[in-house]
Structure 1
Amino acid sequence: MHVVRLFRSMLVQSCLAFGCADKLKILSSHYDSAIKHIRSGIKIMSEVYCDPRSGTFCHPFLRSSTVTALEMDSLRKMLVRLQDQAMTLTREEVDMQLSQSVPISEIDIGIPEVFRSIGEARDIFEFYRCKAGRQFRALDTADPDNFTDLIHHYSRLIEKLAVSLNNFERTRGPLLTARDKTGLTVIRIYQKMQYIILEYGKLGVSDQRSWDNYNSIFEEIVMLAASVVDSAQGIDCLSLSPSQLAELSQNGRLKPSFSLDMGVIAPVYNVATLCRDPVIRRKALTVLRSMSRQEGVFNSHACALVAEQAIAIEERMAAGMALNYQDERSLLKLLPGTRPSWQSETAEITHSDEVPDSARLTYIHPTLKIADKNVCLTIGQPGKHMDIPVPALTAMLDLVTL
């Protein structure tokens, strides 16, 4: 079933981005080594078991560990998160298989009427997000009934999580620290994005125009993300022009940050590439350019660069420029330059309705070619697929560091 296949792909690709990761390579830009370390960590974790007699964690070839179950669970969650991110970056079958190798509970954990802390809310939300991703990826595309059942199951869970989060904010809001408020905002962002994806799945369609139904929620996500960035950077990012943001970045005034936890890059990137409203997606691009963030394998600079390509390709096709998947040069004509004046180049697009389905990309993401140590821009529409070298992305392979 095409809709199931598309939606399953959408869940895998909903956080498409590019960056560097893993504890050993965080600051070094050795992306190929980072991916290998993540794979090795997941493989080791999948082979670890607990000896109930001694209370230690054992491995067939490594020394036993005396870490607590809580510490082991935290390590498992971190590795699973990084491996899922690595999978969106490489698209390789080995990562698809590894994503299923570390077991997670098959029993749904309870959702309280009100969360006790931001940490509890984040952990429960992450649990269901991870579990949903695995279940949708494992779906048989010829079984639409299971697809529909899963959609409704997770829609109910999202509603229940929202109620618990609202109760938490109502009862604990005045007592929250600035850090907790930021954490609450990030969870709200993911809650809204998951709602959009599930509602899109309920439609049972494969056209890209249906994303226009959620433009108002896309804008809410951008505004929430902007508040997170403004709080961290001490700026009003949406009031700044691209040249002002570039100057802040060049002068080192955008504070760099790194996190292995939930962040705002992926959902903002989703808005920039799924929302075709020219104003909203440019706000999302501005938010990405206002960051200097590394969130796991997701890098804000690279995401901004790819989002810029998406905007240029789709809006230039909507304006009448042709894309020939058999001719690499036709795509190069659609890509913006190194420093494009994309605002003036695509001013004729004023509303998402003006971008026809034929001009919309089903997916766009950077693909890391580990063996060749370069990066391609991977784009596709139904029945069409192309990898195109983008020198600016390949250069970022060596230049992006924190």
Structure 2
Amino acid sequence: MNDAGKNLKDVRKRRGLTQSELANASGVSLSTIRKLEQGDRATARMETLRALAAALRVTTMRLVNGPKTEGPTTGTEERWEAVRRALERPPVSSELDDEPPTVAGVQKTLNDSLPLFTQDRFEDLSSALPAMLRDADALGPEGRGVRVRLLQLAGWLMVQTRQFGTAELALQRALDDAADRMEGAATVNTKCWLLLRQGELEKALELAVKWADETEPRISRATPAELSTWGWMLLRVSAAAVRNEQQGQATDALRLAKGAAVMLGREYAPENDFLRTFGPTTVKLKTAENASVTDRPDVVLRLAQHVPTYALKPTSNNRNRHYLDVADAHAKTGDYAEAFDRLSQIQRSSPEWLPNQSYARTVMKRIAEGRRTLTTEMRDMATAIHLEL
């Protein structure tokens, strides 16, 4: 029996529940519980473990034998190999006939390339980013600011594409080079997301709580940048806590984040950093996300009616992620046509982003299991997101 199955069986017996009673309480099928406890299944989706943990009144990580992660899709590591090499190798001297890079030149290149990041144009970025990273490294100490920004963006892209080891490298380099607490927090924000994607819920929670405490401003004189930074740390606390079945802490953190957003009164991006955009709409998105994690599709759909997604850029950290929550809610409530429409909407706006989302495969699998027949478009979607039907 694997440790996850053993943990499940031990806790279930201490609670005095039969397998059938646990299935009824959690909504997880009896066959899945039996397979886990008998060792016929080596692991389970985090969603399944969370449901079991909630029914057993323990944290999700109490049942988990190490993080449960899904790696990059086929061909991803090859596409981004040049980026990985640029992150790993120390800077080299320019050739004699090369013009050395300048801070202004690298900064302009970064600014010009930002649409590639906001539009999730992964193929273009995998080609452009290596040279940008090498040039930033060659700048030396005077290029610290632009180098940190590039490392943050590289780490974010590696998390997006589930290349977690390379993400860790980029983010640690960014954190080591950070000049102050606010710049460090921008990196930690993504580091918490990395830990969440890896299933390291307790580590994510501990890190987010630490930095939420460190970045908490004096409310009476807090700047928009300080409120935004603190608000995002609180959202990471809430995200980790809700996934680890610590509902009280998740609710408290979300309440504080809402207060920070109310003080801002609008969506605010420190130094035009789209990754750190925070405000009332962002809090609404994360409130819906928490409802999705706790399997309340009706709440997700109700909240979605009040989210002004028309005002958001279709980047993976806001509207697209929210649309996945909405698609999942429709699939869970049996509205498979609407669920597929949402997936199609994401695919049209971010065709390179969607195949990297295991969540998209979960939603498409629900649709496939709920319908008697699949349309040609649905089968094409499954192929595009690497789901075997």
TM-score range, shorter chain: 0.3 to 0.5
* TM-score, normalization by structure 1: 0.43
Relative to total residues, which structure has the larger strand share, 1 or 2? 1
TM-score of the superposed pair, with normalisation by structure 2: 0.44
More helix by share: 2
